[in-house]
Chains A and B, each alone.
Chain A
Amino acid sequence: MLNNYFSPWSEIWRRRELVALLAVRNLKIRYKNATLGFVWSLLGPLFLIVIYAVFLGILRFAIDLHILIVGIIAWHYLSTCTHDSLHAVMGNANLVRKTAFPRLILPLSMVLANTINFLLSGLVLAAFLMLRGVVFGVEIIWLPAILLTHLAFCLGISCFISAINVFFRDSEHLVSVALMAWFFLTPVIYPVSLVLDRDLPSLVTYAYFANPMTGIVSAYRTALLGEPFPFFRTALFSFAIAWLVLPLGICFFQRLQVRFADEL
């Protein structure tokens, strides 16, 4: 099991050029070589932000715009990774059938491409927040750790989904439904305090934080907006689970990848 986790990495490091090229290819194809390509990729989250800001306003559910924006941008990264991972292996069926290279490179390069996209939108977000007069506090030193955890978690999930989709072609439907439920279980369009202020039993709180995205999204808000951080222990629990998903996802992927070429 552990061997599955460690064995591909030296080969992947040797093939880092391929990882980079595939990541660039993913971005190029997404932007279709258009100069404004990246701007288009910002449209999705922007649209979500406008919709939720307007509708939550109509519903008189007061949410701070900054909290909403940070939540949506962070969520968007996971959601694009999840959607793209459905095609990470399937969409490269030709490569898998015809050439030998560590298959883990496929989800890895896809996640890297999305990470670049995410970091760019992060820069836009930071500029926007500064324009709105947000002053970043000392909490921002947590940002690299949060980013890394977010990346690890997205990679782990992508490994799971990209491998499953090779064997079960209808997993796409399941993924979109699950993603929608997940969206509401995560404090994306509401602050985490909404849940924590209810004095829930600690078991329920832990269950709520068992979703790594809960910890990650609220940590982003703390780091960027100085929102009060949820209990340190529950957040740590959240992060620990995120870091557990990564090796599990990779082991799972490695177990199934030997049969990819047979199935495609």
Chain B
Amino acid sequence: MNPEYAIEVRDVAKCFKLAPQGGRTLKSLIVDRARNWRHWRVSRDFWALREVDFHVVRGETLGIIGANGAGKSTLLSLLAGTMTPTTGSVVCRGTVSSLLELGAGFHPDLTGRENVYLWGAILGLSRQWMRQRFDAIVAFAEMTEFIDQPVKHYSSGMYVRLGFAVAVEVDPDILIVDEVLAVGDAVFQRKCLERMARFRKDGKTLLVVSHDLQTIRSVSDRILLLDGGRITGLGRPESVLHTYERCWRKQFCAEQAREWGSGEAAIEDVAFLDETGKAVDCIEAGAALRVRLTLRAACSIQRPVIGFSISDIDGRVLHGSNTQMGNRQIDELATGKTVVDLVLRRVNLGAARYLFSFSVHSEDHRKQYHRVDNAFPLTIDNPAPFEGPVPIESDWEWETL
């Protein structure tokens, strides 16, 4: 119990009871139990969070990342106090304002003004205090004109703006921001980011959840990575994001890989070899690379074409070529095993992970014997710092006029 901690989460686990199909009704409670009294099971357990233990120091900004279903929203609900942990304890020191789904608590039939006051009361603020803040809220949301209209007539952007304005302007000690920057136009987004920066400067504690890694990197002091309900990383943004990207990419590559073909020929094996002939999965930029393909043909294939391409992680093709374009005519792929080497003299690309695709098809491209897309990852190290995949030597010159 350190009073310096704004948030203390101690060994928290949260279990949900999954209702059997069809939901739970009084009828099923009575009828199903009577029908199946010997072995009825009302629900299954689902552990959304396990062994979650961390704290946030006052004035710190903690980013929370993780794939969908990793337990982020459950964790935020526990912090906001709407759910109670199954085991462990959550302590928040100070007023908490949460932006979980902006404007979700607004009632469509009430006017913007009424909703603002109601929301203030829900956050536990006095009417008088809200009255002082009211003009600032309306100004921030840029909606002086519509504040006395029922919110059901608002556009979704206005909804979100008002929600954000209320949550921020009520001046909480701890602000929880859940994936809200994805909405609103660019101007308002920047305004929100600026407001959050001011919030940090005032020494308030901030919790940010987002899938936008760029934003989260720039606002967070520390990042918490959740995976399958457990903390798999907690620390400086760079190192946690590195872990996250690595594990996310592994999964992403597996999802991107595609394979099809008629089956007359098959790409059995692909090996990346460096200059010494050693198998590698990572090379230095500018080095030579030999890719050894092992093909097996079920029957003799006349004039086959073998192709390859390199894509970045987003699936953009950076380079592609084949034996036809390279003026290398293969007359026949004989029945049985054939080894083909693709020689890349200088692989000069920016530091990243790239995906190789290979294909064996007929001369007229009509028949695809075997094609494997994005299945072979290769990491390239580049000591030169620059953005993007293409290295271009650049320099700067200047003179004072």
Q: Is the Cβ of A99 less than 8 Å from the Cβ of B98?
A: yes
Which residue of chain B lies nearest to A168 when distances are taken between CB atoms in the complex? B26
Q: A18-B121, A18-B122 are in contact. Are A98 and B107 (CB under 8 A)?
A: no
Q: Is the Cβ of B122 less than 8 Å from the Cβ of A101?
A: yes
Cα distance A169–B22 when bound, in Å? 11
Q: Is the Cβ of B84 less than 8 Å from the Cβ of A29?
A: no
Interface size on B, residues (CB 8 A): 32
**Contacts of B122 on A, CB cut-off 8 Å?**
18, 95, 99, 101
Contact of A22 among B77, B80, B96, B118 (CB under 8 A): B118
**Contacts of B25 on A, CB cut-off 8 Å?**
168-170
Does A94 make an interface contact (CB < 8 A)? yes
**Contacts of A100 on B, CB cut-off 8 Å?**
80-82, 96
Q: Is the Cβ of A32 less than 8 Å from the Cβ of B109?
A: yes
Q: Interface residue tally of chain A, by bracket? A: 20 to 34
Q: Is the Cβ of A21 less than 8 Å from the Cβ of B82?
A: no
Contact of B83 among A33, A168, A262 (CB under 8 A): A262
Q: A25-B107, A99-B105 are in contact. Are A15 and B26 (CB under 8 A)?
A: no
B16, B124, B126, B127 — most chain A CB neighbours (10 Å): B124
Cα distance A18–B84 when bound, in Å? 22
Contact of B124 among A101, A168, A171 (CB under 8 A): A101
**Contacts of B82 on A, CB cut-off 8 Å?**
96-100, 261
Q: Is the Cβ of A98 less than 8 Å from the Cβ of B80?
A: yes
Count of A-B contacts with CB under 8 A? 75
Contact of A21 among B26, B98, B104, B117 (CB under 8 A): B117
Q: Is the Cβ of A94 less than 8 Å from the Cβ of B105?
A: yes
Cα distance A170–B28 when bound, in Å? 10
Does A199 make an interface contact (CB < 8 A)? no
Cα distance A108–B230 when bound, in Å? 38
Instruction: Please give the distance in Å from A118's CB to the nearest CB on chain B.
Output: 22
**Contacts of B29 on A, CB cut-off 8 Å?**
168
Instruction: Please give the distance in Å from A226's CB to the nearest CB on chain B.
Output: 43
Residues of B74-130 at the interface with A, using a CB-CB cut-off of 8 Å, are 77, 80-84, 96, 98, 100-101, 104-105, 107, 109-110, 114, 117-118, 121-124, 126-127
Contact of A15 among B109, B114, B124 (CB under 8 A): B124
Cα distance A22–B114 when bound, in Å? 11
Does B198 make an interface contact (CB < 8 A)? no
Does A255 make an interface contact (CB < 8 A)? no
Q: A15-B124, A21-B117 are in contact. Are A98 and B100 (CB under 8 A)?
A: yes
Contact of A261 among B77, B98, B124, B127 (CB under 8 A): B77
Q: Is the Cβ of B110 less than 8 Å from the Cβ of A28?
A: yes
Instruction: Please give the distance in Å from B270's CB to the nearest CB on chain A.
Output: 49
Which residue of chain B lies nearest to A167 when distances are taken between CB atoms in the complex? B24
Q: Is the Cβ of B98 less than 8 Å from the Cβ of A262?
A: no
Which residue of chain A lies nearest to B15 when distances are taken between CB atoms in the complex? A262
Does A62 make an interface contact (CB < 8 A)? no
Cα distance A142–B27 when bound, in Å? 43
| A-B complex: 7 closest residue pairs judged by Cβ atoms | A100-B81, A18-B121, A170-B25, A168-B26, A261-B83, A261-B82, A94-B104
> Could you jot down 21 A-B contacts, CB within 8 Å?
A15-B121, A22-B118, A25-B114, A28-B114, A32-B109, A33-B109, A97-B100, A98-B80, A98-B98, A98-B101, A98-B104, A99-B98, A100-B81, A100-B82, A100-B96, A101-B124, A168-B24, A168-B26, A261-B77, A261-B82, A262-B83
